[in-house]
Structure 1
Amino acid sequence: MAIYLVGDIQGCLQELKSLLNQADFCPEQDQLYLAGDVVARGPQSLETLRFLISLGESAKMVLGNHDLHLLAIAAGIKTANPKDKLEPILQAPDLQDLIQWLAGQPLLRQLPEEETYISHAGLSPQWSIKDALVQAASASEKLKSSNRDTWLKQMYGNSPDNWHQAKTEVAKFRYTINAFTRMRYCREDLSLEFNCKETPEHAPKDIFPWYQLNKQLDSASWVFGHWASLMGQCPHANLYALDTGCVWGNHLTLVRWHDKQVFTEQSHTHI
């Protein structure tokens, strides 16, 4: 069995299939871990969801911010942006099956029998890995519950940006969603900063990449997407940044975990 890890697909299904062909991926024996944001902006979000579902247990994704936003749109909480090209999903006869599957995906996964984790945006420097596992499980249970729509309404907003200020269930849920799916930078006090998307070299001097402030990464490996401007470049030996901006005209990245071989596929289209 081989484990493969892939960055933000965002509806770029043909590039994903090309990568899987390159790597000789076999769904009967291999596993594909996806770093979130499987939908939005690209040309085939509907087909991407259906393809991942067809892979059964061999496809193991974590939720990204675009995936969560689709859940809110499908629930009537938010309005779709035409640029996200989600209308085929929203009009699909199997919409409810697609949404149910997506809502059942976790925010955090651990690779089998090792200290390697995958989440869309990373690991909050205010959490231990144990904290992260507990909060991810709590938020995921809410998204899978009959009260999903109530919780989806609560996930929007930047406050609290500090875990120590998250005193209520709603505040803890919102912080958890933001930390796992929106985080790039933190302030010196470890609170989340949401505005900057630049590379660290071009960021303001009073904010820091989340991983620079995180002491957990000396003993565990972390796989993440979300941060396309990094283009896979991350200075920490235990970090794997997989979003390489395929939907923006760059390329999709796949890593075969056991030997760290990297496969790339240039974007087939530019939005």
Structure 2
Amino acid sequence: MPEGRIVKALSGFYYVQTTDDLFQCKGRGVFRKKNITPLVGDFVSFDIREEKEGYITEIKPRTNELIRPPIANITQAIIVSSAIMPEFSTTLLDRFLVLIEAKGITPIIFISKTDLLTKEQLDTLKNYQADYVSIGYHVELFSAKVPQDMDRIKGYLKDQVTVIAGQSGVGKSSFINTISPDALIKTADISKSLGRGKHTTRHVELIEVNDGLVADTPGFSALDFSEIEAEELMNCFPEIRELKEHCKFRGCLHAKEPKCAVKEAEENDIIPKYRYKHYISFLEEIQTRKPRY
């Protein structure tokens, strides 16, 4: 039985890419009965019924999945932040990082528009970069106007399945367009031929960019922590995750508990104070949300 990866979902059809061809498939009724929806990124088995058409018979186990956008088996999430216009925000960056860490996806931080900064602003940004690198994150500062920067950025996409997230005003589409102009032109042509207009269904698609696949849709359209419990939040901060074993009390939330290794590390400037402040802020947000029924 042939196998492949769903690279596009549109109007009840799933487009499955095999090693050498693309098949338009429908999902079996059994998926609806089990309340399972095939997702873009899924590895599947399918029956071929007619030339380049078939039915999906099996969805392979997923390594991860997102609800918004609905996509599975992502290997990395690139967070595109702006150095200026809009102003760089560690709070917003940390919200994205928590959401990505909670899904077990590798985050990479790209900070754009560095060519617009003064020397003092750039030095401040490099201090933030050093903080995040010390925590274990990859952080790239770049300008879309510098070809060498863009070549370096492209290298991160090779052999990966990437979803791109970022604050509004960064321009996710223009970012992809700068990396690979052919990708968006191709997507626009497909959309046109499918008659995708204002009132047709928005679809998720994986497009080929630099020998990798990139989700052609903004990642993480909701930035709330509705899927994260208070006890799980600490695991979304790598520097807190490392220290939690050294707290006196099991189940320490690193907020008001005595003899907390995380609080001690923050007081002694071992971990960035603003990261700890964001952790406490996010923890309070989770603890005060309305219960779900």
Confirm or deny a common fold (TM above 0.5).
no
**Higher relative contact order structure (alpha carbons within 8 Å, sequence separation ≥ 6):** 1
- In terms of Rg, which structure is larger? 2
Higher strand share: 2
Q: TM-score, normalised by structure 2?
A: 0.27
